[in-house]
Structures are given as structure tokens and as C-alpha cells.
Amino acid sequence: MVTTRIPSESRVVLRNISWQTFETMLAEMGEDRASRLTYDRGTLEIMTPLLPHEYWNRLIERLIFVLGEELNLEILPTGSTTLKREDLRRGAEPDSSYYIRNEARVRNKTEINLNNDPPPDLVVEVDLTSSSLDRFQIYASLGVPELWRYDEGVLHIYQLQQGEYVECNNSPTFAQLSLIEIPQFLEESQRIGVMGMTRNFRNWVRERI
């Protein structure tokens, strides 16, 4: 077991963990918890986000909803819902996840089963530190088509192409806009507040659509 503690999050890595143990831990820990689990073929990582991590995560979610409102897109937020497939022996709980193109297919569901349901259209990871596991490969194997990684003031956008993530300049989901300026709005929140940042971002979107 390896434990790492940093100002933004706490991580614990356990090895030689069976899929059954992973499933048992998910069931016994329940949904009302702060920690997030990632499982990759026998290795389990437990991450507990702290305030800096959650701050950026919630701000990005706020901007995603502004995009949905202004572009007239339905968005179903699924947060850190466990995404897993036993046949792949892989599972992850993202910082946040969203159904957009496939929103209608899962709108009334109370549980997501990736053997039958599509994966979220967009997963967001606030990567203040590097995970011990290759989360990109996990999400790619689960078929998540778009991944955002916010790290040290930079937003990286990736699109799944032939089983691998390729970094791109624009979001396939919000193709009408170049989102390269999102980090500057996030940083602006620390000067003028969250509500002021949201108003400025909404005006910025309206000017470009």
C-alpha cells in the first residue's frame, strides 16, 4: 500500500484487489461519500478530494451548464457516478461526467450499466496531481468519447479516436466555440467572484454564437 498526501487531495493505492472486493467496497461505502474509487485490473486507488480540487471542479461544471443553456443543449450531470465493466476489470469515478448527445437515452434511469447504456459524453478530471493509474486508458476502454483535463491553469481537451485520446483544440461537444479561454474565466473567479465570472462567461458565449 502506498499513501500520498498533498494539499489538494489524498490518495491511497491498494494492489492485488479482486473485482469482487472492488464491488463489495463500492456497495459498503455507499454513494454518500467524498472518496472516489478507480480500479484497473487488480489495482485500486482511493482518492479524497479537498477544497482546491472541488473548487475548480464545481466552477467547470457551472461553465458547462452555461454552455448548455446558451447553445440550447440538454445536459444530464452524472457527477462521480461509477463507470465500470466487469469484463474489462476496469472502473472509475470521475470528478464529473455529463450526458449531452445521449441525454435522452439515460434521462429517466436510476442506474447506468455500461454493458447496455452508453458512457457519458463528457468526463472532466481536475488533475492537480497525477493519478497512480492511467485513467485515460480506463476511460478509453469504457468508450467515453470526450475528456477534459484541467491542470495548472490549462484546459486540455481530448477526443477518443480509434481507441485512444487525441488532444484537440476544440470540444467536439461544443464545436461552435473555442474553449481555450475557459481557464482565464476560472482564474477570474478569484478576483471578482463566482457569480461575476459566470456573468462574464455567459456574455462571452453570447457574443460568439
**Edge-to-edge strands of the sheet including 83-85?**
2-5, 9-14, 43-49, 36-40, 90-92, 83-85
Helical (H) or strand (E) element with 116: none
Residue keyed to cell 477570474: 188
Q: Tell me the whole-structure pTM to 2 decimals.
A: 0.91
Contacts (Cβ under 8 Å, ≥6 apart) of 204: 181, 185
Q: What is the pLDDT along the chain (209 residues), one digit of tens a residue?
A: 333 334 445 789 999 999 999 999 999 998 878 889 999 999 999 988 888 889 999 999 999 999 999 999 999 999 999 999 999 999 999 999 999 999 999 999 999 999 999 999 999 999 856 666 789 999 999 999 999 999 878 999 999 999 999 999 899 999 989 998 999 999 999 999 999 999 999 999 999 99
Rounded CA separation 129/20 (Å): 28
pLDDT for 128 equals 59
- Domain 50-208 sits in CATH at 3.90.1570
pLDDT for 82 equals 96
